[in-house]
Amino acid sequence: MRITAADLDALERRFEGAQPLDILRFAHATFGERAAILSGMQRAGAVVCHLADRAGLAFDVVFVDTGVLHAETLATRDALAASHRRLHVVTLRPERTFAEQTAEEGLLYLSKEGQERCCDLRKSAPLHAVRGRYDALISALRREEGSTRAGVHTFSLDPEMNALRIHPLAAMPREALDRYLADHPDVAVNPLHSMGFPTIGCFTCTTPVRPDEPERAGRWRHLAGVEYCGINPVDRAVESAVELDDALAARLLAPA
Ligand code: SF4
C-alpha cells in the first residue's frame, strides 16, 4: 500500500502532545524488529536509546561509522552497546576507507560540491545499502533545533529507505532534554558534548563552538552555508511516498 504524507496526518494528530516513550511504544508495537533507532551517538539520540532500553523495548540501533569519527564517538557507541542490553547496535560502514576514497577522489570534504559527495558516500550510502531491512527509522530530531528541523513532524516519510521516519522528541524543548539527562546519569552521553561540541559529526568537519555561536556553527565551519549531511530527509526537499506491506499499513493507520 502506498503511503503519502497526507496519510500520516491523523497519526500526527493522534500523537500530538504524547510523551516520547508513548511514541516509542507505538513504534515497537507496530513495527517490531522492522523498526530501528538511527543514532550518531549525540545527546538526544542517547536519550531515545535510554528511554527505549529502560522501558524494555528491543530495537536495533543503526550507527553509521564514516571512518572519520572521533574516538569518543566510537567509545560512546561501545558504552551504549554494553549498558543498554535490550538494544542491538548495528554499525554500518562505507565501501571504501577514507584513505582509499582520498587516494581516488582527493579530499572531497574541503569543497562544497565535494562535501555533498563525501556525505553521500560515507553517510547516506551505507544507510541506503540496508534499504528493505527496516520499515521505520526512529531518530532524535527536535523542532527547537531550528532551521530545516523547525518543521519536523513526529511521523514522516523516507522514500529513499522506503520507510517511515519517527521523531519521538520532535516537540521536546531543550530544558526537558537537559532535565532528562540530569535525572538519568546512566544515559550514554558522548563526552565531546562537555568539550565544546554541541553537535557532533566527523572530526574532519566538526569543531567546538563558542557560547555566543549557534549550536551548529561547528559543522562544516570551513564551508559557508553547509548545515546538514542529508542523511535525514527533513533536511532535503524530497517527494514523500513509501510502499508498505498492506497489513502493516493497516496497523499503522488504524484509529486508536
Ligand atoms: S561530514 Fe565531512 S568527512 Fe564526514 S562524510 Fe561529510 S564531508 Fe565527509
Q: Which domains does the chain have, with CATH numbers?
A: 2-240 (3.40.50.620)
Choose which residue among 92, 105, 109 to substitute to test ligand 1 binding: the one with the highest number of ligand atoms within 8 A of its C-beta.
109
Determine the distance separating the centroid of ligand 1 and the alpha carbon of 96, expressed in angstroms: 13
Does the active-site annotation cover 229? Answer: yes
From CA 140, how far away is CA 136, in angstroms rounded?
13
pTM of the model: 0.93
User: Distance of CA 217 to CAs 72, 106, 108, 111, 151, Å?
Assistant: 20, 25, 20, 17, 20
Q: What is the pLDDT of residue 237?
A: 61
The atom of ligand 1 lying closest to the CA of 115 is 7
The atom of ligand 1 lying closest to the CA of 123 is 5
What cell does 211 get?
Answer: 557560547
Burial 156-181 (b: 16+ CB within 10 A, else e): bbbebbbbbbbbbbbbbeeeebeebb
Which residues have C-beta atoms less than 6 Å from ligand 1? 66, 68, 109, 115, 118-119, 122-123, 201-202, 204-205, 229
Q: Where are the alpha helices (DSSP H) in the chain?
A: 9-14, 20-31, 43-54, 71-83, 98-105, 112-119, 125-128, 174-183, 246-253
Residue recorded with cell 535490550:
86
The atom of ligand 1 lying closest to the CA of 205 is 2
Q: What is the pLDDT of residue 227?
A: 77
Nearest Cα to 133, choosing from 52, 31, 55, 56?
A: 31
- Can you give the pLDDT of all 256 residues of the chain as single tens digits? 999 989 999 999 999 999 999 999 999 999 999 999 999 999 999 999 999 999 999 999 999 999 999 999 999 999 999 999 999 999 999 999 999 999 999 999 999 999 999 999 999 999 999 999 999 999 999 998 877 788 899 999 999 999 999 999 999 999 999 999 999 999 999 999 999 999 999 999 999 999 999 888 999 999 988 877 877 787 766 657 888 988 898 888 888 7
- Dihedral sign of CA atoms 119, 143, 172, 158 in order: negative
CA-based R_g, the chain, Å: 18
Nearest Cα to 230, choosing from 126, 134, 137, 120?
A: 120
From CA 236, how far away is CA 94, in angstroms rounded?
21
Determine the distance separating the centroid of ligand 1 and the alpha carbon of 81, expressed in angstroms: 24
Residue recorded with cell 552555508:
225
Q: Whose CA is nearest to atom 5 of ligand 1?
A: 119
